[in-house]
Copies of this chain bind each other. A is one copy, B any other.
Amino acid sequence: MAVAEVHSLGRIPRKRVDKFAERRTELAEAAFVTLAELGYARTSLREIAQNSAFTHGVLHYYFTDKVDLIICCVRLYKARCVTRYDRIIAEAGSYDSLCDGFLDALAATMRDEAQLHRLWYDLRAQALYEPGLRVDILDIDHSLEAMIWRVLDRFAEVTGVATPIPSALAYATFDGLFQQCLLQYLAGDDWAVTRMVANARLTLEALYRGETETRRGS
């Protein structure tokens, strides 16, 4: 029996469940370090254990298997990312300040948390192969879409222009840009972030300013 399954029985006292969940989070947090560095396929539970204060036995005690652990990690990611822009949204009062705030945050995220997002794209790719990951990955994907939509909603509020595209398309665009930038950035392209920001700004202006004049270029 894996104790990891116990917490779903319902007969276990509240306190224990909490403690159990806490420990899982703690372990997932520790696993994150290695996972972000090596990626899904190259990370072994032993490696995770070695890079943390835990034994590899304890990982198996708290998680039924590797996928269970990874999913738990991914949920952490979700909780972490999903509110990233909310403060900016709340504070900014004009299109310009909102735009600057959002784009600055975008750039900062790329620069400060490239590893974390690299893991996210890795896991989303693995979900294409592992059905067991799909539900959770799709769930997070929707949360991220909602997060982007909250930003755009604020733009709409501030500008008085209803966002003219569905949230899925908006998310696809910003996600596409971010992912494109990430690879270039990791490959050492110093201008990648700048280009991403420029393209994001372009997108926002097309949406809320109706400006569409540009020249071709990447």
Taking Cβ atoms with an 8 Å cutoff, the residues of A that contact B are 1, 38-42, 46-47, 49-50, 56, 118, 121-122, 124-129, 131, 134, 137-138, 141, 145, 149, 162-169, 171-177, 179-180, 182-184, 186-187, 195, 199, 202-203, 206, 210, 212-218
Contacts and interface: CB of A to CB of B under 8 A. Distances in A.
Nearest to A124: B183
Contacts of A118: 128-129
Contact of A127 (B145, B183, B210, B218): B183
A218 to B, nearest CB: 4
Contact of A1 (B49, B127, B215): B49
A210 B41 CA distance: 45
Given A38-B129, A210-B212, 9 more contacts: A41-B41, A118-B129, A138-B184, A141-B180, A162-B216, A169-B199, A171-B176, A172-B180, A176-B176
Secondary structure of the A side of the interface?
A: helix
Contacts of A128: 39, 118, 121-122, 182-183, 186
A26 B183 CA distance: 30
Nearest to A163: B216
